[in-house]
Amino acid sequence: MSTIVQSVEDIKLNNFHRLLSVRSGGGSFVDGYVLSIIGVGMLQITAALHLTNFWQGMIAASALIGIFLEVLSVGG
């Protein structure tokens, strides 16, 4: 009985590979979008809610923590 060994580089690209590339590249775009929206929104809510530097940092950190938790739940 003979086994055929095929390298990953020899496999033809199909729709799954294209979809995987688009979605993995899109994840970085969405993360950047979320962080930029938080940054722009902080200008408005800091004045409206009279936030201290501590609470500004906590709100900004919550966006990063959310991104890290998303990676753990989706990546597994």
pTM over 0.75: no
Task: Give the pLDDT confidence of 38-58 residue by residue, as tens digits.
Answer: 989 999 999 999 999 999 999
| Domain map (residue ranges) of the chain | 30-76
- Cα 74 to its chain centre, rounded Å, is 10
Closest CA to 66 of 22, 55, 74, 52: 74
Q: Give the whole-number percent of the chain exceeding pLDDT 90.
A: 30
The residue type at 17: H
- What band does 76 get if pLDDT is binned at 50, 70 and 90? very low
How would you label 31-64 residue by residue, b for 16+ Cβ within 10 Å and e otherwise? beeeeeebeeebeeeeeeeeeeeeeeeebeeebe
